[in-house]
Amino acid sequence: MIVIRDLYKAFSETLRPLQGVHLVAEEKTNTVLIGKSGSGKSVLLKSIVGLLEPDKGSILVDEVEVVDSRQDTLQKIRHNVGYVFQSGALYDSLTVGENLAFPLEKTRDLSRGEINDRVAYYLEQVGLPEKIGRMPSELSGGQRKRIGVARTIVTEPKYLLYDEPTTGLDPLTTKEIAEFIVKLRDDLDITGIAVTHDPYCLQIVADTVAYIDEGIIKFSGHTDEARQTADPFLKAFFQTV
The domain ranges of the chain are 2-90+158-239
* Average pLDDT value for residue range 165-176: 85
Distances (CA, A) of 8 to 1, 25, 60, 86, 202: 20, 18, 15, 24, 26
Instruction: Single out the residue of 43, 60, 52, 65 nearest to residue 4, CA to CA.
Output: 60
CATH of 2-90+158-239, one of 3.40.50.880, 3.10.105.10, 3.40.50.300, 3.40.50.12500: 3.40.50.300
- Given this model, what pLDDT does residue 126 score? 83
pTM for this entry? 0.87
How far apart CA 164 and CA 77 sit, in angstroms, is 22
- The one-character DSSP state at 87 is T
Residue 72: count other Cβ atoms within 10 Å of its Cβ: 8
Who has greater pLDDT, 168 or 77?
77
Average pLDDT over residues 131-142: 92
- How confident is residue 109, by pLDDT bands cut at 50, 70 and 90? confident
At residue 33, φ and ψ (nearest 5 deg) are -100, 120
pLDDT at 182 over 90: yes
The mean-pLDDT minimum among 82-86, 87-91, 136-140 falls in: 87-91
pLDDT band at 142 (very low <50, low <70, confident <90, very high): confident
- Nearest Cα neighbor of 149 from 74, 96, 189 is 96
What are the tens digits of pLDDT across the range 46-60? 999 999 999 999 999
